Amino acid sequence: MAIKPTLKNLFFDKEFEEKVKFLQNIPIFEGLNKGALGKITGIIYSKKYAADEIIFEEGKVGKALFIVSSGEVAIHKATGENDSKILAKLGPGSFFGEMALLEELPRSATAKTTQETTLFLIYKVKFDWFMERDPRVGLKVIFNLAKVLSARLRETSEFFAKTL
C-alpha cells in the first residue's frame, strides 16, 4: 500500500534523513546509531561559501569543526610572507579544524574554497554542551576524534621519517 510512504513524506523531514545518512559516513561519527546522529544534527549549522572564499585564516583562534557537505576546500600553509603551499584539497565527507573541538588555539593553516561549497559547522561551546547532556554519544565522538588524530600523527611521523 502507498499509504506508508505518503505518511512518511507528510510527517518526516527528507532533508534530515539525508543529513543523517551523510553523517554516517564521516569517520568522527563512526558507530553512532540513527538516534545519536539525529541528536548531532541539532548542534550542526550549515553555511554556503562562494568560490575562493577564505573560511578561516592561519593564526586566528579556531572555535569550530568544519565538514564539507558539497564543493571543495583547499588547505593552505604560509611558506613565506606572500607565498603559501596547498597541503590538501578536501571534498564532500572530509572534515577539518577538528582540533578546535578540543582546545581554542590559533589555526595552523588557512582554509579556502576552490568552488561554491556548503559546510557543516560544529562549534566548541555547542559540542561541550552536548557532551554534558549526552556523555555516551559525546565520548564516542571524542574517541573517534582521537583515532583520527592518532592516524594523522602516524602519517606525519612516517612522512618525517622518510625525509630524514
Partner 1 sequence: MSNKTYKIIGLILVICAAIWLLFSIRSILMPFVISAVLAYLLSPLLGILETKGLKRIISVLILYSVFLIVFLGSAVLLLPQIFREVSVLSSNIPEYTRNIKGSIYSLQLNIENKYPIIKQKGIIDDSLKNAESFLNEKTAQIPQYLAEAFSMLSLFVLIPFITFFFLLEGRTGIDFVFQKIPSRYTETILSLICEIDEVLGNFFRGQFIESSCVGVLSMIGLLILGVDYAVIIGIIAGLANMIPYLGPFAGTVPALIVGFIKFQNISIMIKIIAMFSIVQFIDNNIIQPIILSHGVNLHPVTVIFSIMAGAQVAGVIGMFLAVPVVCIIKATFLIIVRRKDLI
Binding residues vs partner 1 (CB under 8 A):
10-13, 16-17, 20, 35, 38-39, 41-42, 45-49, 53-57, 60-64, 121, 123-126, 129
CB of 75 to partner 1, least distance (A): 15
Mind spelling out the 3-state secondary structure of 39-89?
HHHCCEEEEEECCCCEEECCCCECCEEEEEEECCEEEEEECCCCCEEEEEE
First to last CA, the chain: 67
Sequence letter at residue 42 = G
Closer residue to partner 1 (CB): 11 or 159? 11
Q: Which is nearer to partner 1, 115 or 156 (CB)?
A: 115
Grid cell of 55 as nine digits? 573560511
CB of 74 to partner 1, least distance (A): 14
Give me Rg for the CA atoms of the chain: 18
Q: How far is the CB of 55 from partner 1 (least distance, A)?
A: 6
Nearer to partner 1, 114 or 156 (CB): 114
CB closer to partner 1, 41 vs 84: 41
Cβ of residue 21: shortest distance to partner 1, in angstroms? 11
- Report, in Å, the least distance between residue 162 CB and partner 1: 35
Distance CA 109, CA 132 (A): 30
C-alpha 28, offset from chain centre: 8
Instruction: Pick between residue 105 and residue 157 the one whose CB is nearest to partner 1.
Output: 105
